Amino acid sequence: MTLVVDVSRRLGAFNLDARFETSGRLTAFFGHSGSGKTTLINLIAGLERPDRGRIEIDGRTLVDTDERVFVPTHRRRIGYVFQDARLFPHLTVRQNLAYGRLLSPRADRWADITRIIELLGIGHLLDRRPARLSGGEKSRVAVGRALAASPRLLLMDEPLAALDEDRKAEILPFVERLRDELGIPVVYVSHAIAEVARLATDVVLLAGGRAVASGPADEVLAHLELSLPESRDETAALVEVVLEGRDPDFGLSLLRSPAGLWRVSRLDAPTGARLRVRVRARDVMLALDRPTRISALNVFAATVLGVTETSDAPDALVDLDAGGDRLVARVTRQTVATLGLAPGVPLWAIVKAVSLDGTAAPGRAPLSGLAPTGPIARS
Ligand SMILES: Nc1ncnc2c1ncn2[C@@H]1O[C@H](COP(=O)(O)OP(=O)(O)OP(=O)(O)O)[C@@H](O)[C@H]1O
């Protein structure tokens, strides 16, 4: 799916003026509160009209103010999961799902309800009414009802916002299954970076009503602070690893990626699990000589790909290639000068900590078995 957006919309004092294109399997709209995320998905869903502009999905125009095209919401075939589940309270789960199905024209129905029920793990809830469901169960049923309408695109507006951490952890694997097994493109609104890092294949960053960056998740998050200076500490590389096993002597988990072997605190996942770890720029140090006798366990040979000055004057971001893995380090501009950091310079990257968001790598996810661990593994 390719989603093309170029729209303006004024709401009181707020001006949305966003332009981007995405073909992601799961595109996250990430931005702080009030940045325009909900306004944008309301425009895509057809719940609001832009003052100016155009929205297209796979070449099909949904809105074009110049051409006076406005496809009404019910003809767009877009599923919408709201922050609150908005289930019909007087209907059972089964009837809520059946209602979703009724919304789709017979000829366009691809949704297999049995498969959706299995995928979301809601088979045991079918005869209950929403009042007898937990928050997490309501969210899963709301996703099921949206899918039952055989949408071409699923919009999810902070579907986990009302849930506590345990319930969130329960739902995230289901979102991963949607992304990886159902093949339906998802736009997922969030202001939680760990969720975005875990789920997104692509990211659109919103700030003050503008799309300030968009592209593959790893590229956007590696330069996050260039577009959102306030998210400085979250600037990070995403590294796909395989859990190779456990170090018998010290109980550390061993992760393998093209850069080499990573040692992190014990991770509760099956051997062979494919995971995505987040390596923050602030947690990577650089050395021209191979460091010896240091406390950090994860030291990788790398080459400088580029140096970018940040808006914070003393700092720079250094992009690195570590055997095929992309890493990013934040150092001072003085360090750039002293070490002579420039494209092609070989060096050593010392990783001080790795974030484990209970993350399954997009497209190659194990379906279960990964319980989220503490957020940071010191190494
Ligand atoms: N109908 C309206 N009239 C006036 N201002 C509005 C209206 N709807 C939204 N706004 C304003 O537009 C801005 C963007 O709102 P929006 O809900 O799109 O942000 P958001 O990024 O989704 O925020 P959050 O993460 O808090 O849900 C906010 O400043 C909001 O107050």
- Tell me which of 203 and 358 has the higher pLDDT: 203
pLDDT the model gives residue 6? 98
pLDDT the model gives residue 311? 74
ipTM of this complex prediction, to 2 decimal places = 0.95
- 378 pLDDT band (50/70/90 cuts)? very low
The verdict on the CB of residue 190 being under 6 Å from ligand 1 is: no
Ligand 1 atom nearest residue 83's Cα:
27
Within 13 A of 168's CA, how many CA atoms are on the CB side?
Answer: 20
Average pLDDT over residues 25-42: 95
- Model pLDDT for residues 78-108, shown as the tens digit of each residue: 999 988 878 999 999 999 999 888 878 887 7
- Strands lying side by side in the sheet with 52-57: 14-22, 3-11, 52-57, 60-64, 69-70
Q: 223 alpha carbon to ligand 1 midpoint, in Å?
A: 26
Q: 44 alpha carbon to ligand 1 midpoint, in Å?
A: 15
Q: 39 alpha carbon to ligand 1 midpoint, in Å?
A: 6
Q: 40 alpha carbon to ligand 1 midpoint, in Å?
A: 10
Task: For a ligand 1 pocket test, name from 33, 39, 51, 188 the mutation site with the most ligand atoms within 8 angstroms of its C-beta.
Answer: 39
Q: Which CATH class is domain 3-222?
A: alpha beta
Alpha helices, DSSP H only, in the chain? 37-45, 73-76, 93-102, 113-120, 135-148, 165-177, 193-199, 217-222, 224-227, 333-339
pLDDT the model gives residue 304? 98
Domain boundaries, the chain: 3-222, 236-378
pLDDT the model gives residue 372? 30
Q: Which CATH class is domain 236-378?
A: mainly beta
